[in-house]
Structure 1
Amino acid sequence: MTNKAHVVIVGGGVIGVSTAIALLNHPVESYDVTIVAPDLPSLDSTTYRPNPVQGEAALASYASAWAGAHHVSDAKIPKQIKRDRETYKVLTKLEEAWRQQGWSKDINKRPLVYVHQTEYWSHKAELLESCVDWYPGYKQLPKESLPDSIDFGATFKTLDLDIPKYLPMLYAYFLNLGGRSIKHKASSISEAISLSYSSAASVTQMVDGRARTAEPTSTSIKPSLVIASPGLGAKELLGDDDVLPIRGQTVLLHAPWCTTTAVHGAETAKQSETTWCGVSKVIAAQGGYRDTYVIPRGDGTIICGGTRLEDDWDVEPRIETSHDILRRVLALMPQLQKPKQNGDSSNGNATAQKNPHAGEYDVEIAAVNVGLRPGRKGGIRLENGPKVDEIPMVYCYGFGGIGYQSSWGAAFEARSLVDEALNRTLAPDQSTFADLDSGNLVLPDPSTLFTKEHINGSAPAVNGH
C-alpha cells in the first residue's frame, strides 16, 4: 500500500458521498477525502422535510435530499445496467447489515425496505425488459391482467430507500471513516482546492466520537486529485451548458394501511416476503421514463409521483400537478385512499385533511415536495478530464433522476478512474468497499443520529468506526 493521497470531492449529494466512502474504505489503497459542497446531509432529520440544512428545508437544487427513491432500473445501455446492478448488490448487503444490528428491529427506522414491485410499460421493448428481468422473483404479468393502454407488465422484488434516513447515515459513515467536509459554495474548482487544505476553513469531522464543525484539528495536504460531482451546480461551477434541471414534484402520503397484503393479498405478501408494495409505469411518449410511481418508505409514508419537466426552475409546488399525480397513482393503486372505516379521522403525522393539493381525493397528505434533478444533455459525464491548477480531475455528474439507483456503481467506476490517474492499485473485480466485503460493517444508530441534542454546536453523537 502506498502513502495516502488526498482526494477532494466537490459535491455532497448521494454520488459524492458514496464515492467518498468507496475511496476511504478502498479494499487495497489508502486515501484521505475531503468533501467541499454548499449542501450536505443533515444528521438530525426526523421531520417530513427531507434533510434540513441548519434547521431549514433543503434547497430544491440539492436533489439528493428530495428523491423518492426506489431501485427500479430504467437503464437504456449495458453500461448503465451494470452500474444499477452493482448498486443493487451493495444495497442488499447494506440492508442485511442494518437489519442485523439491534436498533433496526424497529422497521420504522430502517433506511432500506424490500417491496413487491409492479412495473407497467406502454410498449414492450426488449432492452427495457432486460433492465429489470434480473431482479429477484421477476415474473411477467398475463396480458389479460394489464390495465388499459399497457402493453407489458412484470412483478419482482426490490429495495426502496427512505432518503431522510439513508442519506444522513451515509454521511455519518463517511465521517466515521475519517472523512472531512467543508460546507461552502465554491465559485471555482480552484477555490475548492485551496479551501480543502486551508487552516482557516470550518471543517466537519469526527472528534472524540462526535461529529464537530470547527477549525480543522490538523491541516490536510494539498489534494492529489479532484472529483467534480456538483450535480446541478455543474452548470455554473464548470460552465457546462448541457446541464439543466429536470423538475420533479411528488406528493408524500400517509397511508400505513396500504400494504402488500391489502393490495395484492396475503399469499403474495407471504411469497414475496414483503410488507410494502410499489408500482410504476413507463410511457413511450416520456422517452421511456417512468411518469407515474408509488414508492413506500417503510414507515407508513408513501412517495407518489411524478413529473419530468426539463429546464423548469420553479421550486414552488403546483396544486394542479398534485391533482394530476394523485389521479394517475390512484388509477394504479386505489388503496392509497383512506379506508372507509377510518371515516374522517386524522392521523397525527398528517397535515390538515383539507389540504388543497388533495383535490377531490380522500388521501392524507404529509407533504408536497419539489426537487430539481441534475440532468444533462448527452447523459452522464463520468471520465477523466483536463487538469485544474496542475491537479488531475475526474468528472462525475449528470445523473438526472437515477442517482440513487446507480450511486454505488458510479462510485466504483469513479474510484477506478482515481486509481488509474494516480497510478494506484485497482480494487479487485467484484469488490465493493472493505468493510462490506469483510462483513465488518458498523453503521450509525439512528436513534442517536436523529436527536436534537447538540454539544457546542456539534452534530449528535454517532457510533465510532
Structure 2
Amino acid sequence: MKSVKVVVVGAGVIGFSTAVCIAEALPFCSVTLLAEKFSPDTTSDGAAGLLFAAKFPDIPLERQRRWFKDSFDHLLAIAQSQHSPEAGVMLSSGWQIFKEEPADKKPFWSDFVIGFRPMTDRELNQFPDRKFGQAFTTIKCECSSYLLWLEKRFRKAGGQVQQRKLNSLQELSNSYDIIVNCSGLGSKLLVGDTQVYPVRGQVLKVEAPWLQHFIRDGDGMTYIYPGIHSVTVGGTRQEGNWRLQVDEGDTKSILERCSRLVPSLSKAKVLSAWVGLRPSRRNPRVERELVQLQGHRVPVVHNYGHGAWGVTLAWGTALDALGLVKQCLHEMPLQAKL
C-alpha cells in the first residue's frame, strides 16, 4: 500500500521531469500527474529545445550552474543511449554570434557544454556583420518526442496520469498529502502569482536537410536549429502578449532575418508555424510553502516560471523539487505516512 499521495500539476517538460524524479526516487509515494493539456498541446511541445542559458538576477549562480549541469548530464546520457531517437534527444554543434563583443565572453554554462571556444576568424567570415562568436556542442531536445518518452517512464515507475482542468488548489486538498505545482503560466490563477507573465514566441519548422549547424544570434531573437525531422527557425519575444494565433508578419520577419544569416534558407519549404506563451518570471520559483486549504495546512512545492529556459533547466529544477518533497516528507507527522 503506497502511503503518501503526491500530485504534480502540469504536463509540460517541467511537470513531467518533476513527476518522473519523484516517482523513481520515492517508490513508497503514490504519484499522480494532473493537467488540463498534454502533448502535443503544451507550451513545451513547440520549444526549440537547444540547451544553453541566461542568468537569472536573484538566484545564486552556484544553484543555476547546478540546474544546468544536472539537466545537461541527464540529457547527454539519453543522447548517448539507444533511447536517443525515441526520446528526441540529440547532440547539436554550432555557433552563437554577436554584433558586438559581449561583456560575458565565457558564460556560466560554458564549462558544461562540449568543446566551448571562441569562433575563429574564418568561421566568423560567414557572418560579415558579426564581430564575435562562440562555438560549442550542446544538446537539442525535441519535446514532442521527449514528453511522450517521459510519460512512458513515469507510468513505468508506477505514476498515474489524469486529465482535468483545475481551478484552484482547494480541489486537491482532501485527496493528496503533498502538492507539486508545475503549472507554468497557470500559476497566475492557480496560486495567484502576479509575477508570472507570458512572453509570446513564434517559430517555424522548415525543410532544409542541408543545414547541419545551429546558429543563434546573441540577442536571442533570430535562430536556426536543425533537428531530427526539420529545422526550427525563429523567433519572437513579445512580453505580455497573450495572442496564440500565428502572425503572418512575424512569419515574414523570421524568414527574412534567418535568410540574411543563411541565404539558402530562402529556398526552404515551410512545414508549419507554431505559437507558444513562455511562462516567464524575473526568477523561476523553486521553493516550498505550507498553504491553508479547506481548514488544514498542505505542503506545496513550486517549480515554475522558467521562461525560455524550461527545457534547459527542467531536470535540474526537478531534482531540486524532489529535494523539497523529501523535506516535506521528513516533517510530516508519522500518522500521515502510515
Please, which runs of 5 or more residues in structure 1 have no aligned partner?
42-50, 52-57, 195-221, 260-276, 284-289, 338-360, 425-465
Q: Give runs of aligned pairs for residues 159-238 of structure 1, distance below 5 A.
A: 159-194=139-174, 222-238=175-191
Equivalent residue number for residue 140 of structure 1: 118
Using the TM superposition, give the Cα deviation of residue 98 of structure 1 relative to its aligned residue in structure 2, in angstroms.
3.0
What's 2:314 paired with? Answer: 407
Query: Counterpart amino acid of 1:415?
Result: L
Deviations 1:407-436 (A, max 9, x none): 000000001011112118xxxxxxxxxxxx
CA displacement at 1:31 relative to structure 2? 2.2
User: How many residue pairs get matched?
Assistant: 321
User: One-letter code of the match for 2:311?
Assistant: Y
Structure 2 CA distance, aligned partners of 1:75 and 1:312? 23
Query: Structure 1 residue 393 and structure 2 residue 300: aligned?
Result: yes
Query: Is 1:21 aligned to residue 5 of structure 2?
Result: no
Moved more, 324-333 or 367-376: 324-333
TM-score normalized with structure 1 length? 0.65
Pick the aligned partner of 1:314 from 243, 252, 257.
Answer: 243
Match of 1:95 in 2: 79
Which residue of the partner structure matches residue 329 of structure 1?
A: 258
Identify the range of structure 1 (405-414 vs 123-132) with the bigger mean alpha-carbon deviation.
123-132
Task: Tell me which amino acid in the other structure corresponds to 1:322.
Answer: T
Structure 2: distance between partners of 1:385 and 1:128 = 36
- CA contact 2:13–2:143 (8 Å) conserved in 1: no
Which has the larger share of strand? 2
Give the letter for the 1:186 counterpart: L
* C-alpha deviation, 1:144, in angstroms: 6.8
Distance 1:82 1:334, change over 3 A: farther
* 1:295 has 2:225 as partner: yes
Indicate the residue corresponding to 2:36 in structure 1.
38
Alpha-carbon distance, 1:362 to partner: 2.8
For 1:126 and 1:66, locate their aligned partners in 2 and report how far apart those are by CA, in whole Å. 29
Aligned to 1:382: 286
Q: Secondary structure at the match of 2:211?
A: coil
Mapped partners of 1:405, 1:189: distance in 2: 28
Q: Is the 8 A contact 1:250 1:306 kept in 2?
A: yes
**Normalising to structure 2: TM-score of the pair?**
0.88
Residue 130 (structure 1) aligns with: 108
In 2: Cα distance, 1:135 partner to 1:420 partner? 31
Map Cα deviations across residues 272-330 of structure 1 (whole Å, 9 max, x no partner): xxxxx2111112xxxxxx1111112222x010011110110111111111111112222
In the aligned structure 1, how far is the partner of 2:78 from the partner of 2:268? Answer: 33
Alpha-carbon deviation of 1:129?
2.6
Compute the displacement of 1:388 (Å). Answer: 3.5
- Whichever residue aligns with residue 224 of structure 2, its letter is V
Query: Partner residue of 1:262?
Result: none
1:362-381 → structure 2 map (5 Å cutoff): 362-376=267-281, 378-381=282-285
220, 234, 244: which one aligns with 2:197: 244
| Cα pair 1:189 1:388 within 8 Å, conserved | no
1:174-204 per-residue CA deviation (whole Å, 9 max, x = no partner) reads 112111111111110011344xxxxxxxxxx
Any conservation in 2 of the 1:118–1:153 contact (CA below 8 Å)? Answer: yes
Is contact 1:254–1:364 with CA below 8 Å preserved after alignment?
yes
Shift of 1:131: 2.6
Letter in 2 for 1:142: T
The residue identity in structure 2 corresponding to 1:403 is: G
* Shift of residue 236, structure 1, vs aligned partner: 1.2
Q: Hey, what does 2:218 align to over in structure 1? A: 282
Alpha-carbon shift at residue 133 of structure 1 (Å)? 4.4
Amino acid at match of 2:287: E
Deviation at 1:257, TM superposition (A): 2.2
Q: Which residue does 1:438 correspond to in 2?
A: none
SS, match of residue 279 in structure 1: strand
State the AA in 2 paired with 1:380.
Answer: P
Structure-2 separation of matches of 1:142 and 1:87? 29
